[in-house]
Amino acid sequence: MTGIYLLCLQLWLVFEQFQAVQATQARILIYSRTLGFRHDSIPVAINALKTKQDSINVAFTSTEDPSQFTDSILSSYDALVFLSTTGEVLDSDGVASFQKYLNLGGNFLAIHSASDTLRNTTCYTKELGAVFDYHPALQNFTVDVVGPSHPSTSMLPAQWNVQDEAYNFESNPRALGAIVVLSANESSYVDTGVRRFDQGTPHPTAWYQERGAGVQQGGAAGRSFYSSLGHLNETWQDELFMSHILGGISWVLQSNTTRAFNSSALVGNQANNINITATSTATSKQPTKSTESQASSSLGIATSPSKLTVVVGTLVVAALSQFFIKLLT
């Protein structure tokens, strides 16, 4: 009997350690449905993001299924990523759940042709910042780092050479409060298209919104980030590009409006809503929401509490249990 009690105690301790380890992990939904042009880089992009997920303490789930856009499913994510989506990828119920998610503090990221998505859906286009107009041919050009220092650009050279599509937009994202952090150098490439819209200068290529403008009055705005780069497979295999995107992801999560960094938030990884302070008694110095882990993740550095700690802890508990079982039986 004592053995069984000790086994239960051991399992409980291990369970609680896993809870603590999960405490600051964010869950992010990648949505890549396409009803217009389909980029063949989508699977490469998803794979690249999932490969890097531990480095920013995120668990990605990817889907192309619009029925995932319900209130209850979205509420378990700390951010949504629209990855090279095109066309009318949500119906009106899906849009309503998306709007509700934004109102509850949900964070949003959009990449590449996500700006050619839901073009007439106001909450989506405001949360995004500006709708795609056209792009000149794929070619090499220079992207300038502009604006304040930001986790999505801090590692980039001031003039960054890319091979991509230099998107033009139908409006100036700054009009919605966006801060532009990357700007295509228009002298470095050829664009023979006709500009019918004022997208502002310098040319907007990536930007962020501290308060995503898709939120409705009275809602708790999360953060929004958009990068128009990301066309080619090769781009998603480029470490600099990946650090640009991962920096954007880390930054949106620090809105502190989701459970990744706010245990009383209304959306985000449910595992982070467990009141660890109230339940932990027997263990241990597992990292929970330490200021250290928040500070380091603001720099885009890996913050996963050591899995080694869990393994070692488990082994120690197991060894102690065996010892006591031997003593008592």
Ligand X SMILES: *[C@@H]1O[C@H](CO)[C@@H](O)[C@H](O)[C@H]1NC(C)=O
Q: Which is nearer to ligand X, 296 or 314 (CB)?
A: 296
Q: Which is nearer to ligand X, 218 or 308 (CB)?
A: 218
Q: How far is the CB of 321 from ligand X (least distance, A)?
A: 29
Spatial separation of the C-alpha atoms in residues 249 and 58, rounded to whole Å: 9
Q: Which is nearer to ligand X, 29 or 253 (CB)?
A: 253
Q: How far is the CB of 150 from ligand X (least distance, A)?
A: 13
Other residues' Cβ atoms within 10 Å of the Cβ of residue 19? 18
Q: Which is nearer to ligand X, 105 or 313 (CB)?
A: 105
Strands across the sheet with 26-31, in order?
A: 58-63, 26-31, 79-83, 107-111, 224-227, 204-209, 179-184, 139-145, 159-164
Q: Which is nearer to ligand X, 274 or 318 (CB)?
A: 274
Q: How far is the CB of 308 from ligand X (least distance, A)?
A: 25
Alpha carbon separation from 268 to 29, 65, 112 (Å, rounded): 11, 19, 24
- Helix, strand or coil, per DSSP, at residue 258: coil
Q: How far is the CB of 320 from ligand X (least distance, A)?
A: 28
> Any residues with CB less than 8 A from the CB of 148 and at least 6 apart, and which?
179, 181
Q: How far is the CB of 257 from ligand X (least distance, A)?
A: 5
**Interface contacts to ligand X, rule CB under 6 A:** 40-41, 43-44, 88, 105, 119-120, 140, 142, 144, 159, 161, 163, 185, 187-188, 220, 233, 254-257, 261-266, 275, 277-278, 294, 298
Spatial separation of the C-alpha atoms in residues 221 and 99, rounded to whole Å: 11
